[in-house]
Amino acid sequence: MTTTTQLHNNDIREHILATGQRIMAGKGFSAVGLNEILTDAGVPKGSFYHYFASKEAFGVAMLARYFADYLAELDSTLSQPGLNMAQRLMNYWQQWQASQSFFDCQGKCLAVKLGAEVADLSDSMRLTLKSGTSGIISRLAQALAAGVAEGSLVIDDEPGKVAESLYQLWLGASVMVKIVRTTDPFDSAMRMTRQVIHFSP
């Protein structure tokens, strides 16, 4: 296989994943058929199975892609120059609030949209979700520990436990935002977050 063909195949695979992520972020996993994804992507159905063994395998790849992008963005946010770690963490939660719109998340809220659904449908997708969310919590724990060390924030428990609690707080707030159709749950989550890390701007 030539390098040109490999690049072409990677482009097609990426295009299918991006298309599926955008559609499923709005409708969910079960409600979206392969035909809808492939029609939107302009890819023949037969070609799908060249890249993915099944819809479940596609789901695993889509979630892995989502978390890889998410973690890269999180790493960038937590290494912003000219800010202390508390400020970087607050920027992360502000970005979370901005990206988790209940009007149109554009694929940015895939974990929120699919988490409960696919965890019950597929153990392989559940494990991909577990790995991805563990990566987020681990990075938040490291950031909290760094913030404590530099004196920009204070926490009352171990960084890992605080990171887990804060991630769960924001995940729950994201679900409630979809239910109540206001950003009030995010406002509450932000107030609680400020209290937990003892942050005063």
Distances (CA, A) of 88 to 78, 80, 94, 140, 146: 5, 7, 10, 11, 11
Q: What is the pLDDT of residues 96-133, one digit of tens each?
A: 988 776 555 554 577 788 888 888 889 999 999 999 99
* Ramachandran area for residue 137 (φ above 0: left; ψ -120 to 50: alpha; else beta): alpha
Global pTM? Answer: 0.88
Q: Which two tokens stand for residue 109?
A: 């809220």
Q: What is the pLDDT of residues 59-79, one digit of tens each?
A: 999 999 999 999 999 999 999
16 and 39 Cβ atoms separated by less than 8 Å: no
131 and 139 Cβ atoms separated by less than 8 Å: no
